[in-house]
Structure 1
Amino acid sequence: MRTLVLLVLLEIHGAAAGEYFLFLFGAHFQRFMTHSLQYFYTASTGIERFPRFVAVGVVDGEQIDYYDSVSEKNVLKQTWMEGVRDESRITDIRRGAQQSFQGNIGIAMERFNQTTGVHIFQWMYGCEVDDETKELNGYEQFGYDGEDFITLDTKSGSWAAPKQQAVITKHKWDSDTANTAYKLDYYTTICPDWLKKYLNYGKSTLKKVISYSYYFFKKVIELVTKKSNYCFTLKKNV
């Protein structure tokens, strides 16, 4: 059961200028026979020296790519990802998402009657497959300032709005039947297919990552304690 995803963005001293490292950890660590593909999009405002938009992809806890609003270019983080997909197209998709998210965070601020300050708007989505049971689960949710904003039920296609400010969005998205059909297809077919492809290309590296996940977790905790600049959470009940 996944109960919490902790998103930690670190600016490591000595790293290349403008490069941020992302670590994901929490109570949702996969069992050894469960594989996952996840995407995290984050828009922010009011944070000095930090990109206003960041997007990353993650396979089995291993970051596969990175995009931010400073470089406006998608960068692969794994050599085995080279040639797997059209990276220029991914860059175009991320640029479009950047524009959309910078608008969305402004809308969210208006709904919460906010005009200034530090605010975070996040989108997390993905799928996971159990190797033994073949059980498939998809998930998609948006968070604002560390709390759930709106969440998709990937089985029924309906949206849940835990915040009153998200109700108008829920009604709008629930009525978009074409988008709902696409979402259901994505989480039952498209996402699992891409996950399978990534696992095939990165199987040697990813097996090592899973084997040492606990060790990595401990080291990240130590690093976060010493050098973390920004830490945001998204709750997810499944």
Structure 2
Amino acid sequence: MIRVLVVDDEALVRGGFTHILNAADDIEVVAAVQGGEAVRTVRESHPDVVLLDIRMPDVDGLSVLADLRRMPDPPVVAMLTTFDADEYVATALRSGAAGFLLKDTDPEQLPYLVRALAEGGTVLSSKVTRTVVDAYLDKDVREPAVHLTARLTERERAVLVLMAQGLANTDIGERLHLSTGTVKGHVSAVLSKLRVGSRVQAVLVAERAGLLAPSQDEDAG
């Protein structure tokens, strides 16, 4: 079972996400809490995935993210937002969030996105704006994205495109007929060559470099 914690200041959002996710056979919402209870609840319930509201009145979502990332074995965290151009999204990605999605995400897509997160995939809303991408790609990856991606081998580029679709290493291996260990090696090479520290960062570089077709830039980034 994939254990999920929903953190949001609105009871309606907490209840809605809980209802949708608990309907899936392989997902269990272990708790749905407000921001001030998030860190304590993670320590007590040990979720695999945390869906964390980026803006809450009782506590800053970015502060909660920072606290979670400092844990010895942190859960995967994806940020929830109402706005497709939230100015905090770029900061959240730099701080270690595995992605973000809008609160009005298609209910049918939500379990799929949670599974992708749990398996090491990336989740980016289809409404990621150019402003958010440009804000994220700051001085750490200022070298032109096209030049960075030119360093990749054909196989590494194929792995990167599948990473952008939110696929985990096992799924990428099945698509490319490679072992999971070989895929892990390619992913490590991609991150090194693109000078980034996470799959989310790699996907954003790929988008800026024009490697992703419009059909690939959807809810599962």
With structure 1 as the length reference, what TM-score do the two structures score? 0.27
Structure with more contact order per residue of length (Cα contacts < 8 Å, sep ≥ 6): 1
Q: Which of the two has greater strand per residue?
A: 1
Normalising by the residue count of structure 2, what TM-score does the alignment of the two structures yield? Answer: 0.29
Work out which of the two has the higher radius of gyration on C-alpha atoms and give 1 or 2. Answer: 1
More helix by share: 2
